[in-house]
A = this chain, B = another copy of it.
Amino acid sequence: MFSVTVRDHMMIAHSFRGAVFGPAQQLHGATFVVDATFRRAELDPDNIVVDIALASQQLHAVLSQLNLRNLDEEPDFAGVNTTTEALARHIADRLVEAIHAGELGEGARQLAGVAVTLHESHVAWASYEREL
C-alpha cells in the first residue's frame, strides 16, 4: 500500500457544549495543522499516488471554507461540537467529494482511502480515516 500526505493549516474560533469540555465551553480558538493522506494499492503509470499539486490545492480549498472563521457561526456546524475529531471527518469527507468530482484528476478515482490528521498543539492531535 502506498500513501502520499500533504500538510496545510487553518486558524479558527469555536466553543463546545457539554460538561466534558470544562473551560473549553468558553469561546476560544485553535490552529489546526492538517495532514491529508491519500492511499492507493498501486501507483499509476506516472509512478504517483495522486497529483500532489492538485492534492495540495484541494486541501487548501477545503480549509479555506473554515480558515479565519468562528465555527460557532457557520451553518454547516449548527448544533454540532466542532471537535478536532469531528473536523478531521468533515475535511476527509470534503476531500472524498472532491475526488469523486474529479478535482484531484481522473487517476485519483483509483484511490483506496483518505486519512486526515489535525494537530491542535504539540501535545495533542486527532485523525479520521475512511475508504473511498
With contacts A13-B27, A29-B11 known, is A49 near B126, CB below 8 A?
yes
Considering the chains assembled together, what is the distance between the CA atoms of A68 and B43 in angstroms? 23
A105:B28 contact, CB within 8 angstroms: no
Considering the chains assembled together, what is the distance between the CA atoms of A26 and B3 in angstroms? 24
- Chain A count of residues within 8 A CB distance of the other chain: 62
1/0 contact string of A41-63 vs chain B (CB within 8 Å): 00100111101110010000000
A83:B124 contact, CB within 8 angstroms: no
Considering the chains assembled together, what is the distance between the CA atoms of A125 and B12 in angstroms? 17
B9:A121 contact, CB within 8 angstroms: yes
Q: For residue A11, which residues in chain B have a CB less than 8 angstroms away from its CB? A: 24, 28-30, 120-121
